[in-house]
Amino acid sequence: MTSFGRHHELEKISPEKRVRSMYKRILVANRGEIALRIIRACRELGVETVAIFSEADRGAAYLDLADEAFCVGPAKGSDSYRKIDRVISAAEIGNVQAIHPGYGFLAENAHFNEVCRSCKIDFIGPTPEAMARLGDKNSARKLAREAKVPVVPGSDGLIREESEAMRIAHEIGFPVLVKASAGGGGRGMRVALNDLALKSALSQAAAEAEAAFGDGSIYLEKYVEHPRHVEVQVLADHHGNVVHLWERDCSTQRRHQKLIEESPSPHLTQETRVAICEAAVRLVKACGYTNAGTVEFIVDQTGNFYFIEVNARIQVEHPVSEMITGIDLIKSQIRVAAGEPLPFTQADIVPRGAVIECRINAEDPAKNFQPSPGKIEKMYVPGGFGVRFDSHAHPGYTVSPHYDSMIGKLIVHQPTRNEAIECMLRALDELRIEGIKTTIPLHREILRHAAFVEGRVDTTFVERSGLTQ
Ligand code: ADP
Ligand code: ADP
Ligand code: MG
């Protein structure tokens, strides 16, 4: 080696050091399991964390793992976790260089993202511009069409008149789905089977979206019958590199909300799998999107796939892709935000084995899934080969009625899907949560059901099978 070469070696600093030189501290603008997940990733990167909490979350155990924690207001999310001025104040007082928004709350709020930029705090996610373009489902549909990604047949833009909706519905054929541009979490969506139902679906979807998201704009899609939900995890850096981390199948849903996610999808041919992943990358590239994101599709019974939306953030089910690829998505998000190029290419991302995730919600399956807040008296967490449990809950923890009812995610990774099902059943048996009701019994039933075992599940399976009655 020449002396010049040695000198160069000495000057080389590791990506981790470069991240730490950019970010000494990160604010975690969320709560619960995802806040804990982000704090853990930061600790491994050697980056300090500032947590925020509402009065309802004061004293939560995961807050002890942060270097500092600030109260941002009362229990109600809109008065605390969603309050931009309070979150920004915590970031300023905490002296952070970046904010990780998690999912929900401010994660897809382009205005908040812009406020971060004007305060010179890095938002760990896409730019406000890319977020605004893709966050609105109707405008995302337009971008998808332009990128030659197939979309569900439907309206070309927003629906302004009832008569317009009628005309389009007759063109594409019933059933149709009325969807809110701003919708999320399964809200702002109504199926209509005929003219009469369409009339009320239009006003109901608009009213629900107006109340939940402050935006009642709606559009129309053909209701694809018995579809599968397949989504593609993508990662894009600030140097033009875009990769996908293969797909997740989230067809096991109740009321358009995901219950179980898995990878690989048991439904796709290798040809369709590659085509759908490439379509996702094409869309992300065309939109100048950066950081982690998910492109969601529905796949019909004959294997045609249609784009439905982009989630411009980290998702609840991200561990599925982490386990199948061995890539830590939260650390990747932080590195990308700090300006690091992706350390791998598409060819390096090889999916291995089979992964299943069950969302454990504090809900009572016997009482129409009504929330079941309260104190967890006893809790026993499973372990063993290929088992991961991401949760902020513990014995003595009180589940608050103020937030989403998800209290943890049980994830298993095995060589084959059948082994993953067996492993999940074993882990679900070990997982005991006493004092509140949870969705554990429902998961047990689904995992034993022949349709699930044979991989024949579509998004209507859980309700059709009577498992939720
Ligand atoms: P994922 O595919 O990650 O589950 P969801 O759209 O279901 O995505 O949302 C993730 C989480 O954020 C869920 O817990 C959901 O309740 C919450 N969430 C999503 N969008 C909103 C929103 N606009 N308002 C409130 N909560 C939301
Ligand atoms: P959200 O923002 O609430 O997640 P999505 O547009 O992603 O809304 O749709 C959520 C779920 O609703 C999908 O996973 C699927 O089960 C169902 N869905 C959405 N669009 C259609 C459609 N055109 N036909 C049939 N089902 C659909
Ligand atoms: Mg969705």
- Residue 445 CB neighbours (<10 A): 14
Average pLDDT over residues 107-111: 96
Q: Which residues pair with 232 in a beta bridge?
A: 247, 295
On the CB side of 170, CA atoms within 13 Å amount to: 7
- 253 CB within 6 A, ligand 1: no
| Ligand nearest to C-alpha 308 | 2
Angle at 308 between CA 390 and CA 326, to 5 degrees: 35
| Ligand nearest to C-alpha 190 | 2
Are residues 236 and 284 in contact, defined by beta-carbon separation less than 8 angstroms? yes
Average pLDDT over residues 339-352: 98
Q: pLDDT (tens digit, 9 = 90+) per residue, 118-144? A: 999 999 999 999 999 998 999 999 999
Chain centre to alpha carbon of residue 295:
10
pLDDT band at 468 (very low <50, low <70, confident <90, very high): confident
Residue 448 has pLDDT above 90, yes or no: yes
Average pLDDT over residues 386-401: 98
Average pLDDT over residues 253-272: 96
Cα–Cα distance between 175 and 173 in angstroms, integer?
A: 6
- 183 CB within 6 A, ligand 1: no
Q: What is the pTM of this model?
A: 0.95
Q: Determine the pLDDT at residue 11.
A: 54
Q: Determine the pLDDT at residue 129.
A: 97
46 backbone φψ class: left, alpha, beta (φ>0; ψ -120 to 50): left
DSSP letter string over 121-145? -EESSS-HHHHHHHHSHHHHHHHHH
Residue 15 has pLDDT above 90, yes or no: no
**How long a stretch of residues is the chain?**
469
Q: Relative to the CA of 250, which ligand 1 atom is closest?
A: 2
Q: Which amino acid is at 11?
A: E
Q: Determine the pLDDT at residue 16.
A: 87
Q: Determine the pLDDT at residue 267.
A: 87
32-45 vs 15-22: helix axis angle to the nearest 10?
120
Q: What is the residue extent of each domain of the chain? A: 6-124, 153-222, 228-465
Q: Determine the pLDDT at residue 209.
A: 95
Tell me the two tokens of residue 336. Answer: 């990308």
Q: pLDDT (tens digit, 9 = 90+) per residue, 418-427? A: 999 999 999 9
- 219 CB within 6 A, ligand 1: no
CATH of domain 153-222: 3.30.1490.20
In this structure, the residue with its CA closest to atom 1 of ligand 2 is 184
Which among 316, 317, 330, 363 is the best mutation to test ligand 1's pocket, defined by most ligand atoms within 8 Å of the CB?
Answer: 316
Are residues 440 and 381 in contact, defined by beta-carbon separation less than 8 angstroms? no
Cα–Cα distance between 459 and 231 in angstroms, integer?
A: 13
Q: Determine the pLDDT at residue 2.
A: 41
The CATH homologous superfamily of the domain defined by 228-465: ATP-grasp fold, B domain (3.30.470.20)
Q: pLDDT (tens digit, 9 = 90+) per residue, 60-86? A: 999 999 999 999 999 999 999 999 999
Residue 225 has pLDDT above 60, yes or no: yes
Q: Relative to the CA of 183, which ligand 2 atom is closest?
A: 2
Cα–Cα distance between 298 and 371 in angstroms, integer?
A: 29
| Ligand nearest to C-alpha 318 | 1
Helix (H, G, I), strand (E, B) or coil at 288: coil
Q: pLDDT (tens digit, 9 = 90+) per residue, 268-323? A: 999 999 999 999 999 999 999 999 999 999 999 999 999 999 999 999 999 999 99
Average pLDDT over residues 330-357: 98
Q: Determine the pLDDT at residue 12.
A: 75
Q: Determine the pLDDT at residue 51.
A: 98
Residue 461 has pLDDT above 90, yes or no: yes
For 6-124, CATH number out of 3.30.360.10, 3.40.50.20, 2.40.50.70, 1.20.1530.20 equals 3.40.50.20
- Residue 249 CB neighbours (<10 A): 23
pLDDT band at 99 (very low <50, low <70, confident <90, very high): very high
Average pLDDT over residues 321-341: 98
In this structure, the residue with its CA closest to atom 17 of ligand 1 is 104
DSSP letter string over 25-65? EEEE---HHHHHHHHHHHHHHT-EEEEEE-GGGTT-GGGGG
Residue 90 has pLDDT above 60, yes or no: yes
Ligand 2 lining (C-beta closer than 6 Å): 152, 177, 183-186, 221, 223-224, 227, 229, 253, 256, 296, 298, 308-309, 459
Residue 1 has pLDDT above 90, yes or no: no
Q: Determine the pLDDT at residue 163.
A: 96
